[in-house]
């Protein structure tokens, strides 16, 4: 055990961490940050999303009608993918504002592909299970779902091993445990994932052939993964 941590280092670390919640950036989000105190922001986004729900229902119908290909990018944050319907809470770059803890506003077996990256860990396991079932309900038979999450299994191996991955992802924290606890408790995270658990939940939700995949290795072309998530993430793909 290393007891040579300089006095005040942990307090200084906590000071830098406080108030650091990952937020999607858009003009609306920037305005929101100026107008709404940090502790009310999540609630405000959820309330505004609820207020615009009737409009969102109409928009979902118009975006997915006419037999066109429907690809859902859920929990998109600041990353709006071209040719995908980008879905997130009010105040983000989404083209559809929707609280994804609610049933998806699309009919059964009407969606060709689903992608979400660094979103699932923002739901509890109970919410995640319900959400996975909803994804299965709307996905066409043979359609692809691709999910990226922080690779918590790898963080754990690094904690028990040489610490190199933790040092790369979250450098110079006073201890490895503090780095690990950021992944668990900060950024609004409510669940942690490894490949085994993610495949299991997808199997249980009724998907087929769930497999862990490398970043960029996908049935979807082009692979929708974002570059800056590559180092920290694991991906799982399955079929409807």
Ligand X SMILES: C[S@@+](CC[C@H](N)C(=O)[O-])C[C@H]1O[C@@H](n2cnc3c(N)ncnc32)[C@H](O)[C@@H]1O
- Contacts to ligand X by CB under 6 A: 22, 24, 75-77, 79, 88-89, 92, 99-101, 117-119, 122, 226, 229
Q: 75-78, long-range: CB within 8 Å, 24+ apart, which pairs?
A: 75/100, 75/116, 75/117, 75/118, 75/119, 75/120, 75/122, 76/24, 77/22, 77/24, 77/118, 77/119, 78/24, 78/25, 78/26, 78/29
Q: Indicate the residue among 24 and 238 with the shorter CB distance to ligand X.
A: 24
CB 150, min distance to ligand X, A: 9
Q: How far is CA 46 from the centre of its chain?
A: 16
CB 65, min distance to ligand X, A: 22
| Cα distance between residue 225 and residue 217, in whole Å | 9
CB 229, min distance to ligand X, A: 5
CA–CA distances in Å: residue 210 to residues 24, 129, 149, 200, 222: 29, 15, 15, 8, 19
Q: Indicate the residue among 122 and 137 with the shorter CB distance to ligand X.
A: 122
CB 230, min distance to ligand X, A: 11
Please, are residues 122 and 184 in contact by the beta-carbon 8 Å criterion? no
CA–CA distances in Å: residue 122 to residues 90, 100, 140, 185, 191: 16, 10, 25, 10, 7
Element (H, E) at 117: strand 111-117
CB 66, min distance to ligand X, A: 26
CB 89, min distance to ligand X, A: 4
Q: Indicate the residue among 88 and 134 with the shorter CB distance to ligand X.
A: 88
Residue nearest to ligand X (CB): 77
Q: Indicate the residue among 210 and 233 with the shorter CB distance to ligand X.
A: 233
Q: Indicate the residue among 116 and 136 with the shorter CB distance to ligand X.
A: 116
Across the strands, what pairs with 74?
87, 116
Q: Indicate the residue among 68 and 82 with the shorter CB distance to ligand X.
A: 82
């Amino acid at each position: 055990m290393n007891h040579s941590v300089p006095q005040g280092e942990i307090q200084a670390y906590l000071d830098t961490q406080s108030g650091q919640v990952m937020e999607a950036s858009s003009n609306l989000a920037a305005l929101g940050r100026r107008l709404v105190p940090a502790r009310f922001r999540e609630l405000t986004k959820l309330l505004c999303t609820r207020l615009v729900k009737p409009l969102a229902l109409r928009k979902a119908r118009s975006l997915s009608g006419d037999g066109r290909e429907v690809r859902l990018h859920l929990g998109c944050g600041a990353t709006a993918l071209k040719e995908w319907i980008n879905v997130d809470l009010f105040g983000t770059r989404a083209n559809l504002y929707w609280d994804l803890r609610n049933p998806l506003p699309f009919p059964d077996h009407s969606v060709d592909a689903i992608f979400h990256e660094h979103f699932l860990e923002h739901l509890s396991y109970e919410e995640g299970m319900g959400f996975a079932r909803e994804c299965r309900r709307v996905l066409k038979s043979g359609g692809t779902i691709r999910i990226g999450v922080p690779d918590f299994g790898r963080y754990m191996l690094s904690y028990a091993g040489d610490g190199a991955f933790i040092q790369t992802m979250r450098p110079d924290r006073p201890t490895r445990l503090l780095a690990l606890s950021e992944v668990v408790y900060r950024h609004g995270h409510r669940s942690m994932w490894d490949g085994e658990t993610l495949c299991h939940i997808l199997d249980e939700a009724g998907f087929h052939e769930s497999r862990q995949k490398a970043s960029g290795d996908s049935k979807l072309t082009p692979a929708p993964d974002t570059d800056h998530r590559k180092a920290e993430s694991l991906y799982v793909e399955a079929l409807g």
